[in-house]
């Protein structure tokens, strides 16, 4: 059965069938099916992440609830032969038709299962044997918030969930009231808004998990202009669920001078540097966002130029500092020519501070130095 009007494209060694418009238009159309070639980096990184997680997987099964034409799911089946079964679901039958056809072209149809269910119904049904899935991926249009329960309930204990959010305007602070109702936390519309966004997502996933007697542990996160993406392991543990709040807190930001701090409890506080009232971001995840050993394994397995950069930054990132500083933000405060991120990191380290790159912004750095100390160090 040919899928009318669809064309072949190859990504990462996997043949995909996609609407021709999706390869040429700036914003890929949602009909007859959605495919975004620009999201390749996200898919490249997910292949590497799933490969790195293979040794920990009890059930080598993968489920994609919003599979579209199967860009991620078919790549998993083709590029990770160790995965026994790939469950490819999308409510759009045309998209699933294209995915089926492409599975044949890649000679993987024997390991692929296709369905056109509503996403939560799909995730609740589990595998053919009625088991939960080893890896559950959720990459919806817009917010993942309404599906987090199903994602967690669809994953096996010891399994992995990967979740994308594309409601970046909401998470980065353009619509704070929408963010509060979707993620139970306040965003910060500032220079590190995407990190606050990632941590708002993580806190929603962690708190939802705790309500289900589950615990999550983030092992890798990354973001671009257009999406945020998190990877977290899921374990069945009421004792770990009991301590979920040890990783939930707030970030206070001074919009007057740029000072920022992490606090455990909600508080209205005046800025230590300029005396203005600080704005509260959160509740949000304040714990580590990368598992160093896992990311190191990803670095070893990865062979993309762009993805390598993200991973190497993640490997050194001070992941439990919930904010970063942009190099140009610091330079403009110093009224100097832009400093390179690497130079800034070297100077801070030689003055005795911890400093690192961040996977969330190539033009930024993290440090345990306070803003005034950063400025005096770089002067």
> Closest separation between CB of residue 196 and Zn ion, Å?
17
> Which 8-state DSSP code applies to residue 238?
H
Binding to Zn ion in span 59-118, by CB under 5 A: none
Write down the H helix ranges in the chain. 21-24, 40-53, 71-79, 93-105, 119-125, 148-154, 168-171, 176-183, 193-211, 238-242, 292-301, 305-316, 327-334, 341-350, 371-378
> Closest separation between CB of residue 351 and Zn ion, Å?
22
**Residue with Cβ nearer Zn ion (213 or 372):** 372
DSSP labels for 150-168?
HHHHHEEEEEEEEEEE--H
Site membership for Zn ion, residue 39 (CB under 5 A):
no
Choosing from 254, 369, 371, 378, the residue that interacts with Zn ion (CB under 5 A) is: 254
> Closest separation between CB of residue 275 and Zn ion, Å?
7
> Which 8-state DSSP code applies to residue 332?
H
**Residue with Cβ nearer Zn ion (279 or 357):** 279
Return the SS3 of 235.
Answer: strand
Give the binding range for Zn ion (CB under 5 A) out of 55-63, 230-238, 246-254, 367-375: 246-254
**Residue with Cβ nearer Zn ion (51 or 279):** 279
**Residue with Cβ nearer Zn ion (257 or 301):** 257
**Residue with Cβ nearer Zn ion (232 or 254):** 254
Site membership for Zn ion, residue 256 (CB under 5 A):
yes
Distance CA 53, CA 293 (A): 11
Contact 67/96 with Cβ under 8 angstroms?
yes
> Closest separation between CB of residue 251 and Zn ion, Å?
14
The number of residues that bind Zn ion (CB under 5 A) is 8
> Closest separation between CB of residue 379 and Zn ion, Å?
19
End-to-end alpha carbon distance in the chain: 67
Choosing from 274, 301, 334, 375, the residue that interacts with Zn ion (CB under 5 A) is: 274
Query: Of the candidates 119, 117, 115, 124, which has an alpha carbon nearest to the alpha carbon of residue 153?
Result: 124
Give the binding range for Zn ion (CB under 5 A) out of 60-68, 256-264, 329-337, 364-372: 256-264
Calculate the CA 295 to chain-centre distance.
14
Q: Is the dihedral of CA 52, 296, 314, 291 positive or negative?
A: positive
Site membership for Zn ion, residue 261 (CB under 5 A):
no
> Closest separation between CB of residue 256 and Zn ion, Å?
5
Please give the residue ranges that form the binding site for Zn ion (CB under 5 A). 254, 256-257, 259, 271, 273-274, 276
């Amino acid at each position: 059965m040919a899928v009318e009007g669809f064309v072949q494209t190859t990504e990462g060694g996997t043949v995909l069938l996609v609407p021709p418009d999706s390869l040429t238009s700036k914003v890929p159309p949602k009909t007859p099916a959605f495919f975004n070639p620009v999201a390749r980096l996200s898919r490249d990184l997910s292949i590497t992440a799933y490969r790195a997680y293979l040794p920990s997987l009890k059930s080598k099964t993968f489920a994609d609830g919003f599979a579209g034409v199967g860009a991620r799911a078919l790549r998993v089946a083709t590029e990770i032969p160790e995965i026994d079964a790939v469950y490819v679901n999308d409510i759009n039958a045309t998209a699933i038709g294209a995915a089926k056809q492409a599975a044949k072209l890649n000679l993987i149809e024997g390991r692929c299962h296709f369905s056109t269910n509503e996403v939560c119904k799909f995730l609740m049904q589990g595998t053919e044997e009625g088991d939960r899935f080893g890896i559950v991926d959720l990459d919806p249009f817009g917010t993942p918030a309404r599906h987090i329960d199903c994602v967690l309930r669809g994953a096996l204990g010891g399994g992995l969930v990967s979740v994308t959010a594309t409601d970046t305007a909401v998470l980065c602070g353009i619509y704070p009231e929408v963010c509060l109702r979707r993620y139970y936390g306040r965003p910060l519309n500032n220079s590190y808004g995407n990190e606050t966004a990632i941590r708002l997502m993580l806190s929603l996933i962690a708190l939802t998990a705790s309500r289900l007697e589950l615990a999550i542990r983030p092992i890798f996160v990354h973001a671009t202009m257009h999406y945020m993406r998190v990877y977290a392991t899921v374990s069945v543990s009421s004792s770990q669920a009991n301590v979920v709040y040890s990783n939930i807190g707030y970030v206070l930001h001074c919009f007057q001078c740029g000072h920022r701090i992490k606090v455990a409890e909600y508080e209205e506080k005046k800025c230590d540097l300029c005396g203005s009232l600080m704005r509260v971001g959160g509740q949000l995840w304040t714990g580590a966002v990368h598992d160093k050993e896992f990311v190191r394994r990803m670095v070893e397995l990865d062979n993309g130029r762009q993805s390598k950069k993200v991973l190497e930054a993640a490997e050194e990132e001070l992941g439990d500092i919930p904010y970063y500083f942009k190099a140009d933000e610091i330079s403009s405060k110093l009224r100097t020519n832009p400093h390179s991120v690497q130079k800034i990191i070297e100077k801070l380290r030689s003055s005795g501070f911890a400093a690192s790159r961040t996977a969330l912004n190539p033009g930024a750095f993290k440090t345990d130095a306070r803003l005034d100390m950063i400025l005096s160090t770089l002067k």
